[in-house]
Amino acid sequence: MFIDVLTLFPELVAPVISWGVIRRALEKKTITIRPVDIRDFTVDRHRTTDDAPYGGGPGMVMKPEPVVKAIDFAKKSGEASRIILMSPQGHRFDQSRARALSREPHLIIVCGRYEGIDERIRSFVDEEISIGDYVLTGGELPALVLIDAVVRLIPGVLGNEASVDEESFSEDLLEYPHYTRPSVFRGLSVPDVLLSGHHEKIQKWRKEMAVERTKERHPELYRHFLEGKEGA
């Protein structure tokens, strides 16, 4: 997978992709991540990327020309591209969307800044994605959240592929509780079933705990889980 991150601050991207799973995926050439500086596509000596909004109002608005030129540049990689604008107005990002995006050969992620973007930029993207109902100073952090969620689902990125199948949201359920040594910590014991060595009972307990935890903590996801069972 090839990922272009279009941003005014490419230096924000480098530190995050230099660690852990993403770094290993880059080293194995399973993925390529290229920060693209939108300022490189300006035409004035001040490298201007924003201007005052028509009609007045607070803040500045990102100009369409440099952003769209950056998109055009990223599309020249030759891969079929999926262009994403990180925006609080977008559809809520979730595990199913991450899974779908992990199958794309090329993602172009546009990171906004300032008060907002010129509305016409939206005509040049395929979708808008939000990571939650709150506002950040820019799209870089949401873009990195998306990248982390997507990259780990690409085959060969994680050391143990089974961990993807069992983690939260994989079956519309939250993940079951995990324990490790010691078996008793400050009076808190590991459930006996996990010490039994009985694989079938352990699997049954884990599924029950996942269902119960989802019902208690994420009712909407639990309803989706029940609907899936009914439709099966």
Residue 161: pLDDT band (50, 70, 90) is low
- Contact, 61 vs 115, CB < 8 A? yes
Dmax over Cα atoms in the chain, in whole Å? 71
Q: Last residue of a domain, which of 121, 151, 181?
A: 151
Nearest to 11 by CA among 138, 98, 151, 150: 138
Using CA atoms, how far apart are residues 220 and 224, in angstroms rounded to an integer?
A: 6
**Quick one: average pLDDT of 80-94?**
96
Q: So what's the pLDDT on residue 71?
A: 98
Which two tokens mark 198?
A: 């009985």
Q: What CATH number is attached to the domain comprising 27?
A: 3.40.1280.10
Residues 115 and 35 in one domain: yes
Q: Could you report the per-residue pLDDT of 171-225, keeping only the tens digit for each? A: 789 999 999 999 999 999 999 999 999 999 999 999 999 999 999 999 999 998 9
145 in helix, strand or coil?
Answer: helix
Decide if 161 is inside a domain. no
Q: Which residues pair with 35 in a beta bridge?
A: 5
What sign for the dihedral angle of Cα 36, 37, 42, 48? positive
Nearest to 146 by CA among 20, 18, 22: 22
The β-bridge relationship of strands 116-117 and 188-189 is unpaired
Domain encompassing residue 212: 168-231
The more confident residue out of 2 and 170 is 2
Torsion angles phi and psi, residue 37, rounded to 5: -80, 115
Q: Last residue of a domain, which of 151, 176, 198?
A: 151
Q: Could you report the per-residue pLDDT of 19-58, keeping only the tens digit for each? A: 999 999 999 999 999 999 999 999 999 999 999 999 999 9
Using CA atoms, how far apart are residues 92 and 197, in angstroms rounded to an integer?
A: 41
Residues 121 and 16 in one domain: yes
Q: How many domains would you assign to the chain? A: 2
